[in-house]
Amino acid sequence: MPEALLSPELLRQLEQFQLLARRRSKSQSRGERRSRARGHSVEFADHRNYSQGDDFRHLDWNLFGRLERLFIKLYEEERELPVRLFLDGSESMNFGTPRKFDFTRQVAAAIGYVALCGFDRVGVHVFPENGTNATERSALRSVRGRQSALAFFRNLTALETGGRAQLNESLRRGAMEARHPGLAVVLSDFLDPAGYEEGLTALVGRGFQVELVQVLAPEEITPATFGDLKLVDAETGAVQEVTFGRYRLAGYQQVVNNYCQRLREFCAARGIRYFNVSSAASL
């Protein structure tokens, strides 16, 4: 178990949790989630009239004694909850102390471990898909069961950052590729110049329950460097020279707060839960 990812104490705490889904699972794979499918679990759902050929073991004899009619007992089939973690691995996530990517990867590990302990299927989609860490990315696409946790953590730890985010394209592709909608957790700084609206709308339109975690570095929230600066875009290499004095700090922070507020309002209008956190926060 890589020490830098999750501590043993935290793992024991996470084992007591369960992911809450607002919608019943539509997956076709067996699990421990209530669904609308009818099967042979212990959770009673309804009755239907007996038809020739039905299994006599499922007859409700108590109801027959009262109504003198044959009814079959129906039960809710327990299914797994598909959990998709969209993890921003673009070069901008390499910024900050602690690095945004390290914290975001820890959050993904924690949520994934809760899902694995609940016998749900976890898929981690790292964007952009720039070809690096191909083996680890492939192994993270479909993971199930607590016994898979060690390999899950190992593959997460091996991931590296690189390339431009392409947030909208990555989320749209993930929405289209999903066989069954479930829980989608998007972990990013959401600082893609192309925006986030189209990608998040695609997930909601596909039927996902969407949870959003925006991770910003302490230096992005409260910069500590002032003067005549040359800023280099980590993803495009574009250079911008600025004069940033201490008197501009309050104005800068207001711009950051306004941006986060717009993202929060966009999420609220579409039933998306929004969380904002510093990469220096305690996991």
pLDDT digit string (tens) for 217-244?
Answer: 999 999 999 999 999 999 989 999 999 9
- Using a CB cutoff of 8 Å and minimum separation of 24, what contacts does 156-159 make? 156/5, 156/105, 156/108, 156/109, 156/112, 156/124, 157/2, 157/4, 157/5, 157/105, 158/133, 159/87, 159/89, 159/105, 159/126, 159/133
Q: What b/e readout covers 85-112, taking b as 16+ CB neighbours within 10 angstroms?
A: bbbbbbbbbbbbeebbbbbbbbbbbbbb
Give the Cα-Cα-Cα angle 241, 247, 252 (nearest 5 degrees): 65
Closest to 220 measured CA to CA, from 231, 208, 209, 207? 231
- pLDDT-derived band at 30, boundaries 50, 70, 90: very low
Q: Which residue has the higher pLDDT, 45 or 268?
A: 268
CB 71 within 8 A of CB 112: no
The 10s digit of each residue's pLDDT in 64-112 is 888 888 888 766 555 678 999 999 999 999 999 999 999 999 999 999 9
Q: Which domains does the chain have, with CATH numbers?
A: 8-21+80-278 (3.40.50), 31-79 (no CATH)
pLDDT at 55: 80
Q: What is the pLDDT of residues 127-137, one digit of tens each?
A: 998 756 788 88
What pLDDT was estimated at residue 56? 81
Overall pTM surpassing 0.95 (yes/no): no
pLDDT in tens, 32-68: 444 444 444 455 656 778 777 778 887 888 888 888 8
Instruction: Please report the pLDDT score of residue 79 as a whole number.
Output: 66
What pLDDT is recorded for position 134?
Answer: 82
Average pLDDT, the chain: 87
Taking the C-alpha atoms of residue 224 and residue 218, their distance in angstroms, rounded to an integer, is: 9
Distance CA 37, CA 258 (A): 44
